[in-house]
Amino acid sequence: MAEYTEDNIRTLEWSEHIRLRPGMYIGKLGDGSSADDGIYILLKEILDNSIDEFVMGNGRTIDITIRGNEVKVRDYGRGIPLGKVIDCVSKINTGGKYDSKAFKKSVGLNGVGTKAVNALSSYFKVESVREGKIKAAEFCRGGLEMDAPIEESTARKGTRTTFIPDEEIFKGYSYKSEHIEKMLWNYAYLNRGLVINFNGQRYESKNGLKDLLDRNMDDEPLYPIVHLTGDDIEVALTHSNKYGEDYYSFVNGQYTPQGGTHQSAFREALAKVIRDHYNKGFEAVDIRSAMTAAVSIKVIEPVFESQTKTKLGSQEMEPGGQSVRSFVYDFLARELDNYLHKHPDVAEAMLKRITQNERERKEMAGIKKLARDRAKKANLHNKKLRDCRVHLGDKNEKNLQTTLFICEGDSASGSITKVRDVSTQAVFSLKGKPLNSFGLTKKVVYENEEFNLLQAALNIEDGIDDLRYNNIVLATDADVDGMHIRLLLITFFLQFFPELVKQGHVYVLQTPLFRVRNKKETIYCYNEAERRAAMDKLGKAAEITRFKGLGEISPEEFKNFIGDDMRLDPVMIGKDAALKELLAFYMGKNTPDRQLFIIDNLKVEKDVMEEAA
């Protein structure tokens, strides 16, 4: 039995604790491929402080530059009090936001964010300018390296923070501009009048959440966007001709991708207000289907369900005050009802969409029942789905790592199944190429066995609130057929469950094209450049193996590619991409453009094969 004495008791330095348990402070680590990876949380934690300054009426511009892995954030707020600069970035539970008079509706409340950035950065510098003076300090992994004296300065007041995320913590990371741009646009929509400059690009919004829907909607709205504002709340909503529901929710200017009490309150209140306005007993699913909406509220001392503030847990607008539920309902009951009375054309278009949803749902009821029965029988009698032990549930850090690999053929799925982490990784095996679902109705999801079983495995029939896997990974061969299967699956998701892609759940697994080895070392190469570098390192006599398909990679080798070093490419829709046009371009009939797209994306492999020949 292990001894348990005074010698076993340790007291960690604040930075040690953060570095030992980074997930407690910033969620998952990642390499920058996903929008919720740690390096973006570091940026967000610094930005939140600058946003709070703007909200309090101090400084309307924030300048951000990222060069390589070095990040600089400069605001023109009040600046950190000079005598407390070091404490504010290196002492846990030190900050100005505990004083609710100074930061009444702040994003960051617990005095941890900036300290986490400091502890998890190989280089961290803070500079504060106020009252004609400047104070600067530099740190390395939370340890103070330079404590500059307070000096006179002619610079504008405010705070500049420079940091480089530590590669010991964030292995092989890089910032992707797509994720940063989305984050910055959200800040702009929620803070009208704020100007953010990022690497020479300007982010600014005049119409708040209305601009957000205008920019992010794929389909044309069926009626002009309903935009409502009030004290501590802003709402924008409309319907379109698409499947599913899309929500963008915010608290105190903080994007909450996992929703929370405010988003739930909005969805419930919306259904009740619509029923009352039309005096009809509509089902909530019919009211909200095909809707895109955004809601923002401001709460005093908000309570989030994690340090990364992705889900609101507050039940009240302020401690001991009105509930979030009743606040949101009162606002919609007054403002949305008034709007619909004043705009009968909008009310008529909304009613038409809701009744269409109702009609389609009733027509599909029988088909759905048969499909559910088939899915249950299939799960009992085949092994298309090899499940994992953990599911999303309360969405803790471990559950957020749940992954479903969608594979083509038994060989690849067999290899992954043998070496996967059975706690968090599941495998779904495809049988041949999926149906091209472009232009088809959702009826095909229930009538096509493959789609029906995949939908059941993901548990997304009624939306993605109860999604069983946080990461959906397309694991197909790196050849023309594999690329085609990938496109067919992406088409399926974009056509019927676009929120899966928009909310960053869908990825493509990168697997090596080559194995280069000699007697001492083996190097796996994912592209031609890596192959050349491996040849230079191991010498011309090294053995080269070209993997033509996932089935050729042994289970033991696969273990390397779906573990800690797994490479994933997120499936993202560009900011200017219209979903309908995208799908028509790649998946419509008689499209030589699609063939050229596939060939161009496989150009490296083709060149390598020609060179090898």
- Can you tell me the distance from the alpha carbon of 378 to that of 572, in angstroms, rounded to the nearest whole number? 32
Single out the residue of 76, 43, 73 nearest to residue 61, CA to CA. Answer: 76
Residue 332 pLDDT greater than 90, yes or no? yes
The whole-angstrom separation of Cα 316 and Cα 459 is: 31
* Contact indicator for 508, 486 with CB cutoff of 8 Å: yes
Between CA 573 and CA 38 the distance in angstroms is 22
DSSP class per residue in 18-76: HHH-THHHHS----SSSTTSHHHHHHHHHHHHHHHHHHTT--SEEEEEEETTEEEEEE-
CB contact set of 94 (below 8 Å; sequence gap of 6+)? 84, 87, 88, 111
Residue 278 reports pLDDT greater than 70: yes
What pLDDT band is residue 606 in, cutting at 50, 70 and 90? very low
Candidates 182, 216, 189; CA nearest to 296 is 189
Cα 74 to Cα 247: distance, rounded to the nearest angstrom: 31
So what's the architecture of 209-361 in CATH? 2-Layer Sandwich (3.30)
Residue 420 has which token pair? Answer: 């996967």
- Residue 500 contacts residue 454 (beta carbons within 8 Å): no
Average pLDDT over residues 544-573: 81
Q: DSSP strand E in 141-277: where? A: 143-147, 151-152, 158-165, 195-198, 201-203, 226-230, 233-239, 246-251, 254-255
Q: Which fold has domain 382-511+547-612?
A: Rossmann fold (3.40.50)
Task: Read off the pLDDT of residues 42-52 as tens digits, 9 standing for 90 and up.
Answer: 999 999 889 88
Which value, to the nearest 10 degrees, does the dihedral of the CA atoms of residues 217, 220, 221, 223 take? 160
Chain length of the chain: 613
Adjacency order of strands within the sheet including 543-546:
522-525, 514-517, 543-546
Average pLDDT over every residue of 237-242? 92
Q: What pLDDT score was predicted for residue 611?
A: 38
Q: What residues pair up with 227 in beta bridges, in sequence order? A: 236
Domain ranges of the chain: 14-203, 209-361, 382-511+547-612
Determine the residue type at 441.
Answer: T
Q: What is the pTM of this model?
A: 0.72
pLDDT digits (tens, 9 = 90+) for 371-388: 677 666 666 445 688 888
Which residues lie closer than 8 Å to 315 by C-beta, 6 or more apart? 261, 323, 324, 325
163-167, 327-331, 544-548: lowest mean pLDDT where? 544-548
Dihedral sign for Cα atoms in the order 391, 396, 400, 402:
negative
**pLDDT over 80 (residue 588):** no
Query: What pLDDT, on a 0 to 100 scale, did the predictor assign at position 386?
Result: 87
Q: What is the mean pLDDT of the chain?
A: 83
Fold of the domain spanning 14-203: Heat Shock Protein 90 (3.30.565)
Q: Tell me the pairing of strands 425-430 and 403-408.
A: parallel
